[in-house]
Amino acid sequence: MEEKPNYYAIIPANVRYDENLKLGEKMMYGEITALSKKNGICYASNNYFARLYKVSPQAISKWIKTLEKNKYITITYEKDGKAITKRNISMVSTGVDRVSTEVEGGINHSLEGYQQEIKENNTSINNTSINKKEIYKEICKRVITRLNELNNTKYSTTSDSNLKFIRGRLDDGYTEEDLLLVVDKMSYLWNQPSEKDMRQYLRPSTLFRPTNFENYLNMPVNKKKSFTDVMKEMREID
Counting residues of the chain whose pLDDT is more than 70, the rounded percentage is 72
- Domain around 208: 132-237
| Cα four-point dihedral sign 163, 168, 169, 172 | positive
Say if residue 63 is in the same domain as residue 149: no
Is there a domain that residue 193 lies in?
yes
Q: How many Å apart are CA 238 and CA 154, to the nearest integer?
A: 18
Are residues 151 and 80 both part of a single domain?
no
Q: Write out pLDDT tens, residues 206-218.
A: 999 988 898 888 8
Quick check: is 180 in a domain? yes
Strands ordered across the beta sheet of 73-80: 41-42, 83-91, 73-80
Question: Does the pLDDT of residue 97 top 50, yes or no?
Answer: no
Give bridge partners of residue 74 from the DSSP assignment.
90
Within this chain, do residues 65 and 20 fall inside the same structural domain, yes or no? yes
Please check whether residue 40 is in contact with residue 211, taking contact to mean a CB–CB distance below 8 angstroms. Answer: no
Q: How far apart are CA 54 and CA 73, in angstroms?
A: 22
Which of 95, 117, 146 is the endpoint of a domain? 95
Tell whether 124 is covered by a domain.
Answer: no
| Eight-state DSSP code of residue 192 | S
Residues 136 and 184 reside in one and the same domain: yes
Identify the CATH number of the domain in which residue 49 sits: 1.10.10.10
Find the mean pLDDT for residues 162-185: 89
Could you report the per-residue pLDDT of 99-157, keeping only the tens digit for each?
Answer: 333 334 433 344 344 445 455 555 554 555 556 678 888 999 999 999 999 999 999 99
Quick check: pTM over 0.85? no
Residue 40 — very low, low, confident or very high, per pLDDT cuts 50/70/90? Answer: confident
In a domain, 175, yes or no: yes
Residue 178 in domain: yes
Q: Residue 64 — left, alpha, or beta (φ > 0 → left; ψ -120 to 50 → alpha)?
A: alpha
Write the CA distances from 12 to 33, 100, 103, 110, 119, integer angstroms: 10, 8, 14, 11, 15
Interval 52-76 mean pLDDT: 88
Q: Distance of CA 123 to CAs 28, 39, 132, Å?
A: 21, 12, 14
Label residue 38 by pLDDT band (50, 70, 90).
Answer: low
Q: Do the bridges between strand 73-80 and strand 83-91 make them parallel or antiparallel, or are there none, so unpaired?
A: antiparallel
Residues 91 and 23 in one domain: yes
Which amino acid makes up residue 177?
Answer: E
